[in-house]
Amino acid sequence: MERTTSKSLSPLPIFGPTISVMDRYIITELIGPFIFGVGLFSSIGVTVGAMFELVRKVTESGLPISIAIQVFLLKMPEFIALALPMAMILATLMVYSEMSSNSEIVALRSCGVSVSRIIIPAVIVSLMATGLTFALNEVIVPNANYQSSLILEKTLEQDNPPFKEENIFYPEFGKVRRPDGSRDDTLTRLFYAEKFDGKYMKGITILDRSKYGVEQIVSSESATWNPTKNIWDLFNGTIYLVSSDGSYRNIVKFDHQQLKLSRAPLDLAGKKRTYTQMNIAQSYEYLELMRLSGNYRKVVKTQVRIQQKLALPFVCLVMGLVGASLGVRPHRNSNRGTSFGISVIIIFTYYLLSFMTGAMGQKEVLTPFLAGWLPNFIGLGVALLLLGKASR
C-alpha cells in the first residue's frame, strides 16, 4: 500500500500532467463495478419495462417471437441510458468505501492528498458517463424507440399508414378583443377532418371564432395545403355566418376557397413521436408546433420535458460525486451489499424527487428550468456538504 501511495503523486506523461498513478488506479477500480452496475440495472429495467409487456403480446396478441426479440433489442439502449447514473453511484460508493475500509484513504491523506483530490478520478469517470448518456439519448435512444413502435404497429395493426388516417382535430387558441377593449384568451378556431389520405383532408369542418360576436362555420368536401402560398385550398364547400344569437346571417357556397390557417393540422396528421422518441432538437420543433396551436398545457409540458432531457446526462456527475463523498468517509469494513442498498435508496429518492418536480413544473408551481434541474442542484448540494464533512 505504501508503494502505491508514494507513486500516486507522480504524474503519468501518457495521460497528461494531471493524471497520476493514483488516478489511474482508482479509475481502473471504478470500471469493473461500473460495467457491472450498467448490466445489472439495465437488465432489471428492460425486464420490468419491456419484457413482461412483450411476453404478454406474444401470448395474447400473437406477436412473433422473432419480432419480440427485435423490439426487445431496440428497447435496450433506453434502459442502458437510464442505468448509467445508477451504475455511477454504485461504482463510486463500492470503490471508495472499500478504499476507506482498507485504510487507503487514510494513507493518501497522510501523504498530503486532499479528499477533493482523491475524488477527481470519480469526476473523470462521471463526466465520461455523462457524455455517453447524452450521446445515447440524442442519437440512439429516440430512433430505437421509434423503430420499435413502428415494428409493433406494423405487426399488430396491418396496413397502418405513416400518418393519422381519421379524426384530425386542431384547436387554435388566441386573444379575442371584446367591445370594451379587453382581450380574452379563448378558442379562436377549431379544425376537424374526418379522413386524411396523405395529401387531401376529407370532410372538413372549421369553426372560426376569431372575431367577437361573429362565428363562421366552414364546411368543405376536401382541403389540401398549398406550400407555395402557405395557405389552405378548400374545395366544394359552404361558409355559414352565424350571429351571436345563433341565427344564420349568410350562407355562401364555393367551389374553391383559400383560407389563411396554420399548417399545424397537416403536421398533427403526420405520425408524431412521443417524448421518449424525440431528441432535443425534435422536442424544440414539437414545442413550436404546440405554440402555433395555442395548446398552452402541451407547451408547458414540452418545456419541462426538454429541461429534463438536458439535465438527465448530468445525473451521472451528481451520482458520482454523491457516491464518492459517501465512500471516502471512515469505514471499519466494506460490504458490497450495503453499498448496493444505499445506492438503490439514493436512486429511488432522486427519481421520486425528479417525478415530483416534473409534476410541479407542469402545474407551473416551478419554472420548466427548475423542474428539470432542481433534483441535480439538490444532489450537487448534498454531495458538496458530504465532501466538506469528509474533508474535516
Asked whether residue 284 is domain-assigned, the answer is: no
CB distance 358 to 298 below 8 Å: no
User: Of 103, 107, 74, 89, which Cα lies nearest the Cα of 33?
Assistant: 89
CA atoms 100, 105, 107, 110: torsion sign: negative
The confidence score (pLDDT) of residue 277 equals 87
Residue 319 has pLDDT above 90, yes or no: yes
CB distance 307 to 372 below 8 Å: yes
Torsion of CA 380, 381, 385, 390, to 10 degrees: 0
pLDDT band at 152 (very low <50, low <70, confident <90, very high): confident
Residue 15 has pLDDT above 50, yes or no: no
Instruction: Tell me which of 268, 290, 325 is where a domain ends.
Output: 268
Residue 89 has pLDDT above 80, yes or no: yes
The confidence score (pLDDT) of residue 132 equals 95
Q: Give yes or no: residues 152 and 34 share one domain.
A: yes
Lowest mean pLDDT among 115-124, 248-257, 365-374: 248-257
Asked whether residue 296 is domain-assigned, the answer is: no
For residues 96 and 104, give the distance between their C-alpha atoms in angstroms, rounded to a whole number.
9
Mean of the pLDDT values across residues 6-22? 53
The confidence score (pLDDT) of residue 168 equals 78
For residues 146 and 277, give the distance between their C-alpha atoms in angstroms, rounded to a whole number.
5
Asked whether residue 185 is domain-assigned, the answer is: yes
Q: Give yes or no: residues 118 and 150 share one domain.
A: yes
pLDDT one-digit tens code per residue, 343-356: 889 999 998 999 99
For residues 376 and 315, give the distance between their C-alpha atoms in angstroms, rounded to a whole number.
6
Amino acid at 111: C
Q: Give yes or no: residues 153 and 19 share one domain.
A: yes
Q: Give yes or no: residues 124 and 81 share one domain.
A: yes
Report which of residues 158 and 220 the model is more confident about: 220
Residue 164 has pLDDT above 70, yes or no: no
Residue 77 has pLDDT above 50, yes or no: yes
Cell, residue 369: 428550468
The confidence score (pLDDT) of residue 3 equals 40
The confidence score (pLDDT) of residue 270 equals 64
Report which of residues 251 and 309 the model is more confident about: 309
Residue 294 has pLDDT above 70, yes or no: no
Residue 101 has pLDDT above 50, yes or no: yes
Asked whether residue 303 is domain-assigned, the answer is: no
Residue 332 has pLDDT above 70, yes or no: no
Domains of the chain: total: 2
Mean of the pLDDT values across residues 127-153? 91
Domain that holds residue 183: 166-268
Return mean pLDDT, the chain: 83
Residue 29 has pLDDT above 60, yes or no: yes
CB distance 197 to 320 below 8 Å: no
Task: Spell out the long-range contacts of 363-370 with Cβ–Cβ below 8 A and sequence spacing 24 or more.
Answer: 364/300, 368/300, 368/303, 368/304, 368/306, 368/307, 369/307
Q: Quick one: DSSP state of residue 120?
A: H
Q: Give yes or no: residues 219 and 321 share one domain.
A: no
Asked whether residue 60 is domain-assigned, the answer is: yes
The confidence score (pLDDT) of residue 13 equals 45
Q: Which helix (H) or strand (E) holds 202?
A: strand 201-211
Cell, residue 139: 442519437
Residue 12 has pLDDT above 50, yes or no: no
Report which of residues 113 and 84 the model is more confident about: 84
Residue 36 has pLDDT above 50, yes or no: yes
The confidence score (pLDDT) of residue 88 equals 94
Asked whether residue 186 is domain-assigned, the answer is: yes
Q: Which helix (H) or strand (E) holds 330?
A: none
Q: Give yes or no: residues 41 and 132 share one domain.
A: yes
Report which of residues 54 and 2 the model is more confident about: 54
Q: Give yes or no: residues 109 and 170 share one domain.
A: no
Give strand pairing partners of 11: 20
The pairing of strands 166-177 and 183-196 is antiparallel
Asked whether residue 253 is domain-assigned, the answer is: yes
Q: Give yes or no: residues 345 and 262 share one domain.
A: no
Phi, psi of 277, rounded to the nearest 5 degrees: -105, 10
Q: Give yes or no: residues 29 and 66 share one domain.
A: yes
The confidence score (pLDDT) of residue 139 equals 92
Report which of residues 302 and 288 the model is more confident about: 302
Lowest mean pLDDT among 54-58, 178-182, 277-281, 343-347: 178-182
Q: Which helix (H) or strand (E) holds 159?
A: none
User: Of 339, 280, 343, which Cα lies nearest the Cα of 141?
Assistant: 280
Instruction: Tell me which of 237, 268, 299 is where a domain ends.
Output: 268
Instruction: Tell me which of 268, 297, 319 is where a domain ends.
Output: 268
Q: Give yes or no: residues 81 and 219 share one domain.
A: no
Q: Give yes or no: residues 229 and 126 share one domain.
A: no
Lowest mean pLDDT among 24-28, 276-280, 290-294, 383-387: 290-294
CB distance 257 to 239 below 8 Å: yes
Q: Give yes or no: residues 12 and 122 share one domain.
A: yes
CB distance 240 to 251 below 8 Å: yes
Amino acid at 357: T
Cβ atoms within 10 A of the Cβ of 19, count?
17
- The residue whose grid cell reads 412473433 is 64
For residues 381 and 392, give the distance between their C-alpha atoms in angstroms, rounded to a whole number.
17
Cell, residue 282: 425534435
E-assigned strand segments in 227-287: 231-242, 248-259
Asked whether residue 280 is domain-assigned, the answer is: no
Helix 280-293 / helix 296-311 crossing angle, nearest 10 deg: 170
CB distance 213 to 244 below 8 Å: yes
The confidence score (pLDDT) of residue 244 equals 66
Amino acid at 303: Q
